[in-house]
Amino acid sequence: MFRRVLLTGITGFMLMTLCSAQDGTSLPAPNTIGSGAENASPQTATAPAASGQTTTPPAAATSTPLPPQGKKPSKKASKKNKTPNPIADVDSKQPDKVLFDRAEDAIKHGKYDIARLSLQTLINTYPDSEYVARAKLAIGDSWYDEGGAAAFAQAESEYKDFITFFPNMPEAAEAQMKIANIHYREMEKADRDPTHAMRAEDEYRQMILQFPDSPLIPQAKQRLLEVQEVLARREYDIGHFYYMKDSYPAAIARLKSVADTYPLFSGSDDALFELGGAYEKQVEVIRRSKLPEAVKGEFIKEYTNAAVSAYDRILTVYPLESRAPDARKRLEAMKKPIPKATPQAVAADKAQIASRGKLGTYGKVMENFHKAPDVAEAAKTGEPTLVDPKQASAPEMVRSANETMRTVLAGAGIGNSVTVEKVNDGALPPENAPIPHSTPGNAPGADAATTQGAAPAAAAPAGETAGTEMKSDLPATGDASSAAPLPAPNQVNDLANSGSSNPAASTTAAGASGTTPAASSSTATTAPPADTDTESSSKKKKKKHLLLF
């Protein structure tokens, strides 16, 4: 009973205190016996006023006490005064904002399936929400963060859909950048499949051209330089292989494409030096050929000028590279003027060399275990190539050379004449004339043995055509060897071999066969006796014919 009363009193006191705090008023002071304004008489209370003295009323009865300083407002009051603003990152009670926040939290904790489910629910349930665009971008981000070939393909599809539906949003540039980064992360080494490297180059170029004002442009340009370093290395390796195999048209096509398309490639000087060497080798091949002198002169002049141009480019664009002294020596050997690089070209080449990195010994060893290529040697200065120039190809070079040869021959009047040869003034041969053919004796290059072998044929009797013709291998009718016919082959009579006792039958059989009985008996005696063990069983047993009705 005492506990219940105590608990009730405490609860009531707390409620009264809370109400006074909300209303801003304090509770009246408790009444005391023998003191206070209620126990004082009216005369006593008004006496000072009559004497002209001022009195101050009690503070508890007239003024409201201020809240203590430094005390924070209650949580309930702060929530009541908060204005909902979904654009700002504040706590909001809107359901689409709740779904979006839940999805972002799931992505941070690696729960990508739950995040995509919340985002898809937001898009389908609230199609007019301001969070729809951010939700579609977040779906692509969830696939991108998950990683893997399949997840990257889904992320690329989501990012492309976002750019299609929201091309003017600032996040469109971010989506395009992530599409390029997907192929950059899947890019392989220079001697492997170049599909992802080529796709990355195209996507970075589109990023730079489509969103030129984006703050991501410097990063996109640097990534593009790294991708072009890998592609240039691949083309150079192929051209170097053709150069070592003495396939100079193919080597020229590859090396020229590298030098024209990727001027910031770390091995551009090597590509140009081998390009000049390939042109010089081609000149040597032309000199050893059996072409007319006019055609030779034209080709030698063209290839020599191309080699000089390649060496000049090394000295003017890459004057500080390792191949510059070798190019100078080749020009001196060819007795050509040596160009001089400008100060701007020297400064630009020096900046490119200083910006390139270099892989250490440990990095070179560990590179063998990595799928991604080494891009440390990519330049950090300069602008990447955004539009490819016309690519050189070996078949096109061969067709151009053939066209040049035909043009030179036509100008010199060589190879245009047509000759006509008349045979027998156009008369037809007689009807029964023999077919023209060459005899072994008259054939060019016939040796003595062939001539001697053809001598008996020349002595053939009259009426026969000289030469090798098909003849019958049967003897002539008047030949002596054909007078007596050959004897007939011996015949074996089963009845005689089995030792039949019917002489008439044997005689009849012998007469029918055209032999004498003596010959027949001699044949029967010479034939070996039949072996009963090896004799067929059909001769021992009688054949039984069964009639089935």
Assign residue 176 the CATH number of its domain.
1.25.40.10
Asked whether residue 333 is assigned to any structural domain, the reply reads yes
Per-residue burial over 80-95, b if 16 or more Cβ lie within 10 Å, else e, is eeeeeeeeeeeebeee
Asked whether residue 134 is assigned to any structural domain, the reply reads yes
Average the pLDDT over 334-342 and give the result.
93
Q: What is the mean pLDDT of the chain?
A: 75
> For residues 204 and 218, what is the distance between their CA atoms, to the nearest angstrom?
11
The tokens for 500 are: 């039949």
Residues 212 and 251 occupy one common structural domain: no
Single out the residue in 410, 428, 458 at which a domain terminates. 410
Asked whether residue 423 is assigned to any structural domain, the reply reads no
**What is the enclosing helix (H) or strand (E) of 239?**
helix 217-244
Confidence of residue 368 (pLDDT cuts 50, 70, 90): confident
The tokens for 460 are: 């053939």
Average the pLDDT over 418-445 and give the result.
59
- Residue (of 277, 241, 238, 243) closest to 258 by Cα position: 238
**CA 431 to chain centroid:** 70
Cβ pair 138, 175 in contact under 8 A: no
Q: Which residue stretches of 34-170 are H helix?
A: 42-50, 59-62, 75-81, 95-108, 112-125, 132-146, 149-165
In the predicted structure, residue 97 carries a pLDDT above the cut 70: yes
Asked whether residue 399 is assigned to any structural domain, the reply reads yes
Single out the residue in 226, 260, 281 at which a domain terminates. 226
Residues 222 and 242 occupy one common structural domain: no
Instruction: Confirm whether pTM is higher than 0.85.
Output: no
User: If DSSP codes are grouped into helix, strand and coil, which group holds residue 445?
Assistant: coil
Instruction: Name which of 47-51, 63-67, 215-219, 312-316 the model is least confident about.
Output: 47-51
Residues 178 and 244 occupy one common structural domain: no
Domain of residue 165 covers: 95-226
Domain count, the chain: 2
Asked whether residue 405 is assigned to any structural domain, the reply reads yes
The confidence score (pLDDT) of residue 188 equals 93
Residues 218 and 267 occupy one common structural domain: no
The confidence score (pLDDT) of residue 519 equals 43
Residues 240 and 200 occupy one common structural domain: no
pLDDT tens-place string over residues 256-313: 999 999 999 999 999 999 999 999 999 999 999 888 888 888 899 999 999 999 999 9
Asked whether residue 347 is assigned to any structural domain, the reply reads yes
Residues 239 and 220 occupy one common structural domain: no
Single out the residue in 385, 410, 435 at which a domain terminates. 410
CA 328 vs CA 98, 271, 306: distances in Å: 71, 15, 15
Q: Quickly count: other Cβ atoms within 10 Å of residue 116's Cβ.
A: 21
Asked whether residue 456 is assigned to any structural domain, the reply reads no
Residues 262 and 399 occupy one common structural domain: yes
Residues 273 and 387 occupy one common structural domain: yes
Residues 216 and 274 occupy one common structural domain: no
Confidence of residue 439 (pLDDT cuts 50, 70, 90): low
pLDDT tens-place string over residues 175-206: 999 999 999 999 999 999 999 999 999 999 99
Q: Quickly count: other Cβ atoms within 10 Å of residue 301's Cβ.
A: 11
Residues 211 and 238 occupy one common structural domain: no
pLDDT tens-place string over residues 390-417: 888 888 888 888 888 788 777 766 655 5
Residues 271 and 400 occupy one common structural domain: yes
Asked whether residue 494 is assigned to any structural domain, the reply reads no
Q: Please state, for a pLDDT cut of 70, what percent of the chain lies above it.
A: 60
> For residues 174 and 177, what is the distance between their CA atoms, to the nearest angstrom?
5
Residues 197 and 254 occupy one common structural domain: no
